[in-house]
């Protein structure tokens, strides 16, 4: 066994750093009184070309808790529209870009910290992350990944032994530092800040950088302006697909400010999020979202609005009419993606258009009217599904407890008929694949709030991490 820290042996690319000091400030990491590794994401190590067996807990602590070895740490500069109001006092206030590494899949990944100390953007706050906040972010990312959402994931969570004061947690509360692996920490707000300072030159440089690193296939196109046009159109598609993935997963992100929107169309920053207990478009996850701006059902339109606002900075280099044309496809991209994801959750791969649309709207109606658990509905379907359903409509969802009233029974009967009708067109082979698809698309474990609270209570009361470890294992679907 060698004692070389595997994280220090990685080849770090200085992609963002090479852009120079207009985009970030160099910062130092806080020193913490202690370091307890609470989570290490071994599923990510192979993507970094690392064998989990050869990476010790001490390696994680040395690099992602004590921050020994790699330099510089870059607090990225950004602004953002927060609940509709422009905020020019933002930036990485409790985190920094630790480094960038090329994965075995060819993609460039960021290691970004959260809770690693103050920066010039901390605005008088402590630069820290609560342990509960860290636990919640780890869980959200693993759950979303399991549901097929394009998301950042946490590489490590280290408890750091400080006492923090927060208005939304019983205080003092425990502290942590998290390292997140994401496709980029360049946010819509990174561009917004450059427009605020009227720096067209810096917007252009950053846009070229984004295309070079995150949309390299567009480089085949010789003309830069054409690349920009296609970049925006592709971003629109990626964001529409992301919104569809959240909606199908039953996920409410809760803080869709433009500083929480990634330029790669990846989902990240899991603060006061929640998975919806039942289908309810006005379900709002953040207690401070008084008007339900970021409620579950608003997510697709808010994402569209954020894309539209991004036209302001990008408009300094991309013709706005071209971006408008790209944005016009948003609804179609969204609907196509959402429809496909929902049909998958219902067990299907391909359904003809009119039947597919009808099944989708009937399913939503059923979920809404009965208020059956959103996740429970799909896991029940997965458990009860049987190929014999094709031949006998009465067997479909034979055991249901969620239809109380006569009206609800009628809705279920109609849904059943339609489902049966679609099954008629399937071959025996396709029918067999349905069971597998249902299993794959509908993980058994749903990360509902009481589940998180239960895990947290064990940590909080008894420092018992076993329920957390088991939950992570279930979300990652390991035996």
Ligand X SMILES: Nc1ncnc2c1ncn2[C@@H]1O[C@H](COP(=O)(O)OP(=O)(O)OP(=O)(O)O)[C@@H](O)[C@H]1O
**Three-class DSSP category at 289:** coil
The one among 258, 260, 284, 442 contacting Mg ion by CB under 5 A: 260
**Three-class DSSP category at 312:** helix
The tokens describing 215, both together, are 């949309």
Task: List the beta bridge partners of residue 24.
Answer: 76
Q: Is residue 90 close enough to count as binding ligand X by CB under 6 A?
A: yes
Least distance from C-beta 434 to Mg ion, angstroms? 39
Q: In the 3-class helix/strand/coil scheme, how is 187-247 assigned residue by residue?
A: EHHHHHHHHHCCCHHHHHHHHHHHHHHHCHHHHHCCCHHHHHHHHHHHHHHHHHHHHHHHH
The annotation status of 250 as a binding-site residue, yes or no, is no
Q: Quick one: 168 exposed, middle or buried, by C-beta within 10 A (0-12, 13-18, 19+)?
A: middle
- How many separate helices (H) and strands (E) can be counted in the chain? 14, 12
Q: Which region, judged by CB under 6 A, interacts with ligand X, from 88-96, 235-243, 327-335, 363-371?
A: 88-96
Out of ligand X, Mg ion, none, what residue 125 binds, judged by CB under 5 to 8 A for its kind, is ligand X
Least distance from C-beta 269 to Mg ion, angstroms? 4
* Candidates 59, 110, 259, 289; catalytic one: 259
- Which residue's Cβ lies closest to Mg ion? 269
Q: x-or-dash pattern for ligand X, window 124-163, by CB under 6 A? A: -xxxx-----------------------------------
User: Long-range contacts: 421-426, Cβ < 8 Å, 24+?
Assistant: 421/355, 422/348, 422/351, 422/355, 422/359, 423/389, 423/390, 424/390, 426/390
Residues 434-473 that bind ligand X (CB under 6 A): none
The annotation status of 126 as a binding-site residue, yes or no, is yes
Q: Is residue 137 close enough to count as binding Mg ion by CB under 5 A?
A: no
Q: Is residue 260 close enough to count as binding ligand X by CB under 6 A?
A: yes
Report d(CA 209, CA 222) in Å as an integer. 16
Least distance from C-beta 46 to ligand X, angstroms? 25
The one among 38, 40, 77, 114 contacting ligand X by CB under 6 A: 114
Cis peptide before 72 (omega within 30 of 0): yes
Q: x-or-dash pattern for ligand X, window 219-258, by CB under 6 A? A: ------------------------------------x---
Least distance from C-beta 418 to ligand X, angstroms? 42
Instruction: Give the side-chain half-sphere CA count within 13 A for 152.
Output: 32
Report d(CA 393, CA 418) in Å as an integer. 10
Is residue 259 flagged as an active site residue?
Answer: yes
The one among 59, 142, 192, 269 contacting Mg ion by CB under 5 A: 269
The annotation status of 260 as a binding-site residue, yes or no, is yes
Choice between 258 and 260, CB closer to Mg ion: 260
Q: Is residue 77 close enough to count as binding ligand X by CB under 6 A?
A: no
- The angle that helices 188-196 and 200-214 make with each other, rounded to 10 degrees, is 160
The one among 103, 148, 161, 271 contacting ligand X by CB under 6 A: 271
The annotation status of 136 as a binding-site residue, yes or no, is no
- Which residue's Cβ lies closest to ligand X? 93
Burial letters for 346-367: b for 16+ Cβ neighbours within 10 Å, e otherwise?
bbbeebeeeebebbbebbeebb
The one among 63, 73, 93, 382 contacting ligand X by CB under 6 A: 93
The annotation status of 368 as a binding-site residue, yes or no, is no
Report d(CA 340, CA 83) in Å as an integer. 30
The annotation status of 265 as a binding-site residue, yes or no, is no
The tokens describing 274, both together, are 């929640």
Choice between 11 and 290, CB closer to ligand X: 290
Residues 402-441 that bind ligand X (CB under 6 A): none
Least distance from C-beta 411 to Mg ion, angstroms? 40
The 10 Å Cβ neighbour count of residue 249 is: 26
Q: Using alpha carbons only, give the angle 434, 436, 440 rounded to the nearest 5 degrees.
A: 115
Report d(CA 246, CA 265) in Å as an integer. 12
Q: Is residue 59 close enough to count as binding ligand X by CB under 6 A?
A: no
Q: Kindly state the number of chain residues that form the binding site for ligand X, as judged by CB under 6 A.
A: 17
The annotation status of 187 as a binding-site residue, yes or no, is yes
CA torsion angle 158 288 299 76 (round to 10): -50
Kindly list the catalytic residues. 259
Residues that bind Mg ion (CB under 5 A): 260, 269
Residues that bind ligand X (CB under 6 A): 90-95, 114, 121-122, 125-128, 255, 260, 269, 271
Binding residues for ATP: 91, 93-94, 114, 126-127, 180, 187, 269
């Amino acid at each position: 066994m060698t004692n070389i820290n595997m994280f220090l042996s990685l080849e770090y690319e200085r992609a963002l750093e090479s852009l120079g000091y207009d985009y970030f400030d160099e910062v130092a990491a806080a020193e913490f009184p202690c370091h307890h590794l609470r989570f290490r994401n071994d599923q990510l190590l192979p993507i970094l070309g690392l064998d989990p067996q050869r990476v010790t807990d001490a390696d994680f602590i040395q690099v992602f808790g004590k921050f020994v070895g790699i330099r510089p740490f870059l607090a990225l500069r950004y602004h953002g529209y927060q609940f509709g109001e422009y905020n020019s006092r933002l930036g990485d206030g409790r985190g920094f870009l630790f480094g960038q590494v090329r994965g075995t899949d060819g993609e460039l990944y960021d290691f970004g910290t959260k809770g690693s100390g103050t920066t010039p953007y901390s605005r008088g706050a402590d630069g820290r992350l609560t342990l509960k906040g860290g636990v919640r972010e780890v869980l959200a990312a693993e759950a979303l990944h399991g549901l097929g959402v394009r998301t950042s994931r946490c590489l490590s969570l280290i408890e750091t032994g400080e006492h923090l004061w927060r208005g939304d947690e019983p205080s003092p509360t425990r502290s942590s530092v998290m390292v997140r692996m994401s496709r980029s920490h360049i946010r819509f707000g990174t561009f917004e800040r450059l427009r605020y300072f009227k720096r067209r030159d810096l917007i252009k440089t950053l846009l070229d950088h984004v295309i070079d690193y995150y949309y390299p296939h567009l480089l085949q196109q010789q003309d830069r302006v054409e690349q920009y046009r296609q970049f925006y159109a592709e971003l629109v598609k990626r964001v529409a697909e992301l919104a569809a993935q959240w909606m199908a997963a039953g996920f409410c992100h809760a803080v869709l400010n433009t500083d929480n929107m990634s330029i790669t169309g990846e989902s990240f920053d899991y603060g006061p999020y929640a998975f919806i207990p039942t289908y309810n478009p006005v379900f709002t996850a953040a207690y401070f979202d008084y008007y339900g701006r970021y409620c579950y059902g608003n997510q697709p339109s808010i994402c569209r609005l954020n894309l539209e606002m991004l036209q302001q900075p990008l408009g300094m280099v991309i013709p706005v009419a071209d971006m408008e044309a790209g944005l016009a496809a948003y609804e179609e991209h969204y609907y196509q993606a959402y429809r496909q994801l929902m049909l998958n959750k219902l067990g299907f791969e391909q359904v003809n258009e009119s039947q597919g649309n009808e099944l989708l709207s009937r399913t939503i109606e059923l979920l809404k009217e009965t208020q059956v658990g959103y996740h429970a509905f799909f896991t029940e379907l997965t458990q009860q599904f049987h190929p014999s359903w094709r031949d006998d409509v009465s067997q479909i969802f034979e055991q249901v407890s969620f239809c109380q009233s006569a009206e609800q029974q009628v809705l279920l009967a109609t849904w059943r008929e339609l489902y049966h009708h679609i099954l008629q067109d399937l071959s025996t082979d396709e029918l067999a694949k349905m069971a597998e698809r249902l299993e794959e698309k509908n993980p058994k474990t749903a990360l509902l709030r009481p589940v998180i609270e239960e895990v947290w209570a064990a940590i909080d009361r008894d420092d018992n991490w076993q329920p957390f470890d088991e939950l992570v294992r279930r979300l990652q679907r390991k035996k």
